[in-house]
Structure 1
Amino acid sequence: MNFDTTFVLNMLTAVLLIVVAVVLYVNYGFKRKANIKGKHVLISGGSKGIGLEVAAQCFQQGAKVTILARDENGLKEAKKYICSKSEEKRDSEVIYFPVNVSKDYELLETIIQKAEDELGPIYGLFNIVGKAVCYRFLETPLNDFDDMIKVNYQSTVNCTRAVLKKMVTRNEGFIEITSSMAGLFGIYGFSAYSASKFALLGFAQTLAMEMKPHNISITITYPPDTDTPGFALENTTKPEETKLICESGGLLPPSKVARSIINDTLKGKFSSTVTFEGFILRTLTSGLSPPNGIFAVLLEANLMGPLRLVGLLILTHFNKIVRDCFKKRVHTKSE
C-alpha cells in the first residue's frame, strides 16, 4: 500500500497535536478553585489601598485574616473597615501586627508563628506591600533604587519565605505576588520602580517550579494604575511624559483590582491582569512562564505574532509622547 507524502505529513501532524494536547492537559488542565472559607490568609500591606480591599473581600468570603503593615494606627482602622464588611460578628478572626517586612525578618517569623497560633495554619499569602517612585533616571536619587528593591522585592521574599517554611509541610496553599504593568515593560520615569517589579517575575517563575511538587500555587499579578494613597503620592513627582503614558490605561478602584487578584489567585492562575491593555502585555511577554490553562496556551500561540505588531504601535505612540514633551521643554527653556 502506498501513501503520498501529504497524507503521511498530515497523520504525523495529527499525532503530534494529540500528544501536545495530552501533555498540556496533564500538566495544565482543569484546576479546582480554592475555597478560603474558614482558612487563614495573610496580607502584607493590608492597611490601605489594594491590600485593604483584598483583606476585606477575603473576610467576606469567610476567611480568617491577618494583616501586616508598618503603621499600627492604620492597622487598627483597617481592622474596623474589614470587620464592617461581614454581617456576622467575627472580629476575633481579624488580627494585625505592625512590622517592616522588608527589614525585620526575625520579627516577621515570630509574628507568623503568633498568627498561626491564633488563627491556625496560613493557607494563603497575598504579597501586596509595595510603593513607587517616579523620576527621570538621571534625577532619581540613588538611594531610591535600593529602597525600591527593599520594599517591592525583598518584602515579598521575606514574607514568602516565612510562610512557605510551614506551608510546604502541609502540601497545600497559595502565594500571590503583586507586580505591576510596569513590571512587564519599562516605562518612562520608572527606572527604579520597573526594575524592582521585573525582579518579581523571575522570583515567581522559580517558585512555581519549586512548589509544584508541594501542591502550592504561585500567582503573579499585574495591576494597572489604581486609585490608592500610594498612587496619589507617586503622582507628585511624576514627569509629564509618564502621566500621559499612564493615562492611556485609565485609573481603577482598588476594590475592582482586589477582586481580580483574589479570583485569579484562587483559580491557581500563574499570571493575572485586570485590563485589556494588561492582557496584551501579559500575552506578549508570556515566554516560558507557566500557562494559565490549555485555552490560554492556544490563545497565546495564536496571538503573540499579531500582538507584536500591536505592541510596536503602542510603543511608537509612547515614543511620540516622549518626543513631544521633550520639544515642549526645549521650547519653554529657549523663551
Structure 2
Amino acid sequence: MLFAILFTSFLFLLILYVIIRPRPVKVPIKHRHVFITGGSSGIGLAIAKRAAIEGARVSIMARNIEKLEEAKKSISLASGALDVCIFSADARDYDAVQRAVNDAGPIDVLVVNHGVYEHDVLERQGLDVVKNIIEVNLIGSFNVIKAALPLMKKDRKDKGPASIALMVSQAAQVGIYGYTAYSASNFGLRGLAEALQQEVISDNIHVSLIFPPDTETPGYKEAKRTMPELTKTIVGSPVPMKTDDVALKTLQGIKSGNFIVPCNFLGHVLAIATTGLSPQRSFIMAAMEVVFAGICRLIGLAYLWETYRSIEMWHNKQK
C-alpha cells in the first residue's frame, strides 16, 4: 500500500516536471536596463530604488516632470546611482511613449506600473471616468509594451532573458462590488499577459503579473475615502502593504521569471484558485495548484456566500 502511494506520488510529480511550460528561467537585474512606468511615486518609485540598489541602470517614466526630478534625486540618494534617466510622457499618448522608449534605449526589464483607480458602482460612475480608467490602465499598457518590444527583441546587448512585468492588483483575480471599471481593466491586463507570453517566449522575454493587495501609495487614502460603503463592508479594513515590501516581491518574481507573482498569503490562495490556464514555471507551485485547487475553490465559494449575504443584508437595510 505504501509503495503504491509513493509510486503514484512519484509518477504525478514526474508528469508535472515533464509538462511544465515555459521552463524555469532566471532573469538578471544587475548591470541591466530597467524601465519603469509610473516610476515617480508609490510602488514604481520603490521598485526603481531597489533595482538601482541591486545594480541596474534605471529609467522611470511618468507625466509630472517635477515629481520625476524629485524621484530621480530620491533614487540616487538611496542607491548612489548617478545615471538615473527620467522621461515625461502620458501612457495614453503612444507617440510620446515611443519617443521616451527610443530615447531610453533597449530595455531588459520593463515594469508597466502606471495606473489609476476610482471605485464606484457603474450606475453612478461617469462614462468619462470609466474610459479614463480603461485608457490609462489597459490601453496605456498596450502602448508601452508595443513601443518597447522592437528594441527589446532586436537590440538587447546580451540577448539574455528579459522581462515584461505588469503591475495589476488582486482586482485582476476577483471582481469586487464597486470595482467594475477597475477590475475590467485589470482582467484585461491578465488576458494581455497570457497571450503576450506566447508571442514573446521565442525571443527569451518572460512575462510576469504582479498582484499586490492594498498598498500605501499616494492614491490609497483618497480611494479608500471615496469607496462605496458596501464595498468597505465587503473588503473590511485590511492593513495595507508597504511599497518597499511590494517592490521586493516584484523583483523577486521578475528574477525568477514567474508569471503569477502574489505579494501576500491571500494573493497565493487567489493565485491557486484562479490559475486557470496561466503559465506556470515553478514545479512546486504547479504541484500545489493541482493538489489544492479544489480546496481553494471551496474557500472561494464560502467567500462568495459571505459577499452576497452582505450585499443582501445591506440592500434590505436600505429599503
Assess if the C-alpha contact under 8 Å between 1:28 and 1:294 holds in 2: no
Show CA shifts across 1:180-204 (max 9, x none): 1111111000111101110011100
Q: What is the CA–CA distance in structure 2 between the aligned matches of 1:101 and 1:265, rounded to whole Å?
A: 22
* SS of structure 1 residue aligned to 2:279: coil
Tell whether 2:43 aligns with 1:58.
no
Q: Which runs of 5+ in 2 are unaligned?
A: none
Q: What is the CA–CA distance in structure 2 between the aligned matches of 1:237 and 1:18, rounded to whole Å?
A: 48
Q: What is the CA–CA distance in structure 1 between the aligned matches of 2:310 and 2:68, rounded to whole Å?
A: 40
Q: What is the CA–CA distance in structure 2 between the aligned matches of 1:185 and 1:161, rounded to whole Å?
A: 27
User: TM-score normalised to the size of structure 2?
Assistant: 0.91
Aligned to 1:4: none
1:132 to 117, 126, 130: 117
State how 1:173-322 maps to structure 2 within 5 Å: 173-247=162-236, 249-322=238-311
* SS of structure 2 residue aligned to 1:137: coil
Aligned to 2:318: 329
Aligned to 1:166: 151
Q: Which runs of 5+ in 1 are unaligned?
A: 1-8, 331-335
Aligned to 1:69: 62
Show CA shifts across 1:282-334 (max 9, x none): 1111011001411111100010111111111111222233233323433xxxx
Structure number with greater CO (CA < 8 Å, separation at least 6) is 2
Moved over 6 A (4+): 12-16
Tell whether 2:34 aligns with 1:35.
no
Assess if the C-alpha contact under 8 Å between 1:271 and 1:292 holds in 2: no
Q: What is the CA–CA distance in structure 1 between the aligned matches of 2:57 and 2:135, rounded to whole Å?
A: 28
* SS of structure 1 residue aligned to 2:219: helix
Q: What is the CA–CA distance in structure 2 between the aligned matches of 1:259 and 1:44, rounded to whole Å?
A: 17
Residues 1:215 and 1:322: Cα distance change in structure 2 (over 3 Å): same
Q: What is the CA–CA distance in structure 2 between the aligned matches of 1:254 and 1:164, rounded to whole Å?
A: 27
Q: What is the CA–CA distance in structure 1 between the aligned matches of 2:240 and 2:305, rounded to whole Å?
A: 22
Aligned to 1:333: none
How many Å apart are 1:107 and its aligned residue? 2.1
2:75 to 70, 75, 82: 82
Aligned to 1:3: none
How many Å apart are 1:115 and its aligned residue? 1.3
Matched pairs, number = 312
Assess if the C-alpha contact under 8 Å between 2:16 and 2:287 holds in 1: no
User: Letter of the aligned partner of 1:24 in structure 2?
Assistant: I
- Structure number, greater radius of gyration: 1
Residues 1:252 and 1:19: Cα distance change in structure 2 (over 3 Å): closer
Q: What is the CA–CA distance in structure 1 between the aligned matches of 2:70 and 2:317, rounded to whole Å?
A: 45
Give RMSD over aligned pairs.
2.2
How many Å apart are 1:19 and its aligned residue? 6.3
Aligned to 1:23: 18
